Amino acid sequence: MIPKTPFQYQLWIDGNEVPSVSGKKFERKSPAHGTVVGEYALADGADVDVAVRAAREAFDKGAWPHTSGAERMKVLLKARDFILQQKEQLALIETLESGKPISQARDEVDWTADLWQYAASLCRNIHGDTYNTLGDSMFGLVVREPIGVVGMVTPWNFPLLIVSQKLPFALAAGCTCVVKPSELTSGTTLRLGKILADAGLPDGAVNIVSGFGNPAGARLSSHPEVDMMSFTGSTNVGKGVISAARENVKKVELELGGKNPQIIFADADLPAAADAAVFGICFNQGECCNSGSRLIVQRPVVEEFVNKLIDLVRQVPVGDPLDEKNKIGAIASEAQYAKILGHIEEGQKAGARLRLGGKSLPILSGQFIEPTIFDSVSADMAIARQEIFGPVLSVLAFDTAEEAIEIANDTDYGLSASIWTRDFDTALLTSRRIRAGTIWVNTFLEGYPELPFGGFKESGLGREVGRFAIEEFTELKTIQFHLGKKTSWWARAHENLP
């Protein structure tokens, strides 16, 4: 149900809800319903400075970096419990702000809670190394320490989930953080501030500012007191984060775009592959960096497979995301809506064959687009190369595995890919040659907290989730101990002189 009055949010800084320095606010309208659903404090550079100062103080003088792994674990586990307790309201906020179906928003809260639980398990497993082979007089230690203050900028497509691929892992390492969520979907992230305080996190360890990329996100990226930036969003903006980070040579972790292929060999389980292809393009309205937006199908089964896809997609209900039966909701913003329709128009002009969809849908007062399928697509077309971030599928044909691999790798991205075949050799050989961070075989778009996530090429830097994720938020330090009597270098240099 749409609330009668919009949800109200303040900034979360140093353990308190506070207005912006300027006192200004901004609104968010539901992309499905056209009504105002949230009102937020508008942060600018001054607010970011205050938030960074709180995080800096909490790291340099506060308790969190020195808290034992066991105590950090208890806080993260309590946060997980509180997230689940607030599941219905968090899911409602996500649906109202993003336009995604309510059932998917509930799933997202469950996945989020699982990430906090897994990150909690890592709190007691940070370790370094020892070196006892440096000679009798030397002993070496290598330790991991928290990197410091981490700035995080997160996107609008999975707001609660994506901040939870970063924040609990940084906290597990002992870092303090400043988070700037997307201005389109700030609500659930701002709610995390109070959840973490109730879970026992010290004041200042997490600070959350709502506002626009310019100036708030830009100031955070270039801030001299921020030791690391973790960003999820478009590749172009990610390049801007890298540029801004040079101000103090801060570490950068990026999860960026994708143009992810699903390769369908003729011997595949075609009904299962078709279901995965529909899921891959309809899930979250296609607004997903892992969206399976390129379908690379072996030529003997192309026509059969596309016809099967069309039949399935026609059965996927599109409409009010608050209606439990709908699987596709509204496009998140007017800009994204226009961008998707522009790509559809470009695809037709380029000569791709429109087999299904291609139009906007007059539903409620929102921004809805039909799931769209193109075939007869060539690898040089924009719809086969550029990230559309909408429910638009491009179908390309191939003859040999070598050709499929070449097409799959022929983009600037390398986030994920899927391979469908009954032949073990084909699956493994193809998996090893595709340059992407995640390869699924006979499945698609499944994820687990234990498995790292990130991309090759322009899809990003570093990895999130999994046991390696916590290492992203640490620095290695070498400590050397001299044992026994120390001889001066002058004495050593002259000990053999007459």
| Catalytic positions | 255, 289
| Whole-number Å distance between alpha carbons of 345 and 486 | 77
Q: Is 108 helix (H, G, I), strand (E, B) or coil?
A: helix
What is the b/e burial string over 78-116, where b = at least 16 CB atoms within 10 angstroms of the residue's CB? bbbebbbebbeebbbbbbbbbbbbbbbbbebbebbbbbb
Question: Of 460, 13, 1, which is closest to residue 237 (Cα–Cα)?
Answer: 460
**What strands, in cross-sheet order, belong to the sheet with 392-398?**
353-356, 372-375, 392-398, 294-298, 261-264, 416-420, 438-441
What is the b/e burial string over 350-378, where b = at least 16 CB atoms within 10 angstroms of the residue's CB? eebeebbbbeeeebbebbbbbbbbbbbbe
**What strands, in cross-sheet order, belong to the sheet with 251-255?**
16-18, 11-13, 206-208, 176-180, 149-153, 228-232, 251-255, 460-461
Rounded (10°) CA dihedral 335, 341, 345, 350: 80
What is the b/e burial string over 387-400, where b = at least 16 CB atoms within 10 angstroms of the residue's CB? bbbbbbbbbbbbee
| Whole-number Å distance between alpha carbons of 319 and 371 | 12
Q: Are 150 and 223 spatial neighbours (Cβ–Cβ below 8 Å)?
A: no
| Whole-number Å distance between alpha carbons of 256 and 232 | 6
| Whole-number Å distance between alpha carbons of 260 and 413 | 8
In the structure encoding, which two tokens stand for residue 436, read together?
């992407």
| Whole-number Å distance between alpha carbons of 325 and 318 | 9
Q: Are 457 and 410 spatial neighbours (Cβ–Cβ below 8 Å)?
A: no
| Whole-number Å distance between alpha carbons of 420 and 408 | 13
| Whole-number Å distance between alpha carbons of 424 and 441 | 10
* CB contact set of 372 (below 8 Å; sequence gap of 6+): 344, 354, 356, 357, 358, 391, 392, 393
Element (H, E) at 447: none
Element (H, E) at 9: strand 7-9
Q: Are strands 25-29 and 36-41 parallel, antiparallel or unpaired?
A: antiparallel
Q: Are 19 and 44 spatial neighbours (Cβ–Cβ below 8 Å)?
A: no
